[in-house]
Structure 1
Amino acid sequence: MSETRNTFFKIVLQITCQLLWLVGLVEGLSAVYLLLNYSHSSLFFSHTYIILPACLALASAAFLLVSGGLGLGVSLRVSTCLQALFLYLLVIVLCLEATTAALAHVNIKKVHSELAPFKDVLQRYTGSSQDLHSNAVDATQEELQCCGIYDYRDWLATPWFNHSGGNRVPRSCCNSTYPMCNGTLDLTELLYPKGCQVKLEEAFRFVLRLIIWLSLAVALLEVVGFVSVAQLIRDHNPPLNTGQGKALRTEPVGQKAP
């Protein structure tokens, strides 16, 4: 019976470690996606702490991959040192995930206020390929398939719009499915309908929410991992048989010599 239970918890631990690998991979990719998005649009953000959850999620993903491999070793080989190290890594990951989820929850509410400089960058747009702000705006509009802050009408209040003749928006606002589009306001249906700030907020909030849900999944998997390892340790170090102790206590004490 004990051998069957031992095998069962070994299988459970192996499945748990594989799931930890999967969750760690998804969390790492999510963090990389958020960091890449930020690197392409860093001019539109007030502070850099918005990417702190992504940095912690990336570190947590690395620990998850290591923990998963170590957990597989624990399930295949009886070693007190490996079991202790595995549990120690799980505690570290749990602390990282809790901190990451808390920061992600806080930053979800701050995404809108953090994108306040987007309007200022739009006001500095010159259309020149040598201008850093212009390149950032064009790259963002083409990559996210958006136009302006909320829609193309945001360009009507920019200095560039007045200097360019007051009848068109940048070509980066043009929908890529319409090659004939040149940004003129006569054919606004050829422009991207949604604004860039809206899309940036949606992208960042989606990734931050995903990180929170992944943190909850990791917490559940870690509970299973803790229980499985605890059972393996218990089976490897069974409690002393109390029956022998009782027998020893019931033996008569030797008689005194006459």
Structure 2
Amino acid sequence: MAPSKSRDADCCSVNFLKYVLQIFNVVFLMAGGAVLGVGVWTLATRHWQLALLSTASYAVAAGALVAAGALALLGAPLGCVGVWREHRCLLLLFTFVLLLIFLLEAMAGVLSYVYQEQVYRELETSLNSTFLGAYRADPRRSAAIDLVQHQFRCCGAMRFEDWQYSEWRRSEAAGLNLVPDSCCKTVSQGCGRSSHPSNIHYSGCIYRLSEEIEGQLIVLGAVGLGICVLQVFGMVFSCCLYIKLKDVVDW
């Protein structure tokens, strides 16, 4: 039978590991709050962009960060209790929580960077059909289109002339308008009746929209991949304390 070891045996004592893990838990809690905040902020303020995308990769990446942040806020107290009470089962559970958070953040980071390279091609394929077919037919997408055109000072997916081929333009809802009122430089009721460059924006929305989404994906990727490294240190120290407590006795 192997002899029991003291708390200060070997290179890392139990007290040292407990001290390091408690510091880690404080940093872990703050990082979890930051990850949760970035994910919630993205979903709350960029929901209109999600309505114009044909795939869910953007939403999945943001949702993974929300899940990781929520788990971190729950896992940090669990880790504190496990360390404080030197409870090996709680430490093991804490390690698995860290592993799950690591996987979620890594997934969000990798997905963000991979999707960033595909955003423009996706919009190039689907955005024009969304503009032409969904405007005024789909309230959620219609609101998103109006917001995009007004906020980015653009008109149409690729160019303002696209609107003449839209379902909306052929319907009675268009009235005398050549383009939606949200294309106008100064938005007012019926201002879309004139397509003169002094009245409406001529550039298509795909360019600014893709730049905006790509920029946000860089943020999601940096947060996901940057903070997931933190979980690796937590797992290492937690496993070390778990193993150390197996053979340690108080003297």
- 1:146-161 aligned at under 5 Å gives the runs 146-149=153-156, 154-159=159-164, 160=169
TM superposition shift of 1:21: 2.5
Match of 1:227 in 2: 236
TM superposition shift of 1:209: 2.2
Take 1:54 and 1:65, find their aligned partners in 2: how far apart are those partners? Answer: 17
Match of 1:104 in 2: 112
Please, which of 75, 79, 92 is the counterpart of residue 84 of structure 1? Answer: 92
Match of 2:74 in 1: 66
TM-align CA RMSD: 3.9
By relative contact order (CA 8 Å, sep 6+), the higher-ranking structure is: 2
Report Cα offsets for 1:47-91 as digits up to 9, x if no partner. 334422223222222222222222222332211111111111112
Q: In 2, are the aligned partners of 1:23 and 1:214 still within 8 Å (CA)? A: no
Take 1:59 and 1:110, find their aligned partners in 2: how far apart are those partners? Answer: 24
Question: Matched residues, percent identical?
Answer: 23
TM-score by length of structure 1 reads: 0.68
Any gaps of 5 or more consecutive residues in structure 1? 241-258
Take 2:138 and 2:102, find their aligned partners in 1: how far apart are those partners? Answer: 45
Matched, 1:215 2:224: yes
Match of 1:254 in 2: none
Report Cα offsets for 1:89-130 as digits up to 9, x if no partner. 11222222333333223211221122232222333487x6x7
- 1:78-227 aligned at under 5 Å gives the runs 78-115=86-123, 116-124=125-133, 132=139, 134-142=142-150, 144-149=151-156, 154-159=159-164, 160=169, 164=176, 169-174=179-184, 182=191, 188=198, 195-227=204-236
- Pair 175,31 (structure 1): closer, same or farther in 2 beyond 3 Å: farther
Match of 1:56 in 2: 64
Q: In 1, are the aligned partners of 2:95 and 2:235 still within 8 Å (CA)? A: yes
Letter of the 1:140 partner, please give it. V
Any gaps of 5 or more consecutive residues in structure 2? 1-6
Match of 1:252 in 2: none
State the number of aligned residues. Answer: 231
Q: In 2, are the aligned partners of 1:56 and 1:96 still within 8 Å (CA)? A: yes
- Pair 194,37 (structure 1): closer, same or farther in 2 beyond 3 Å: farther
Take 1:9 and 1:175, find their aligned partners in 2: how far apart are those partners? Answer: 62
Look at both structures and tell me which one has the larger radius of gyration over its CA atoms: 1
Q: Which moved more, 1:1-10 or 1:73-82?
A: 1-10
- Pair 234,39 (structure 1): closer, same or farther in 2 beyond 3 Å: closer
TM superposition shift of 1:220: 2.2
Match of 2:4 in 1: none
Q: Which moved more, 1:98-107 or 1:36-45?
A: 36-45
Take 1:196 and 1:73, find their aligned partners in 2: how far apart are those partners? Answer: 52
Q: In 2, are the aligned partners of 1:97 and 1:215 still within 8 Å (CA)? A: yes
Q: In 2, are the aligned partners of 1:150 and 1:196 still within 8 Å (CA)? A: yes
TM superposition shift of 1:237: 4.4
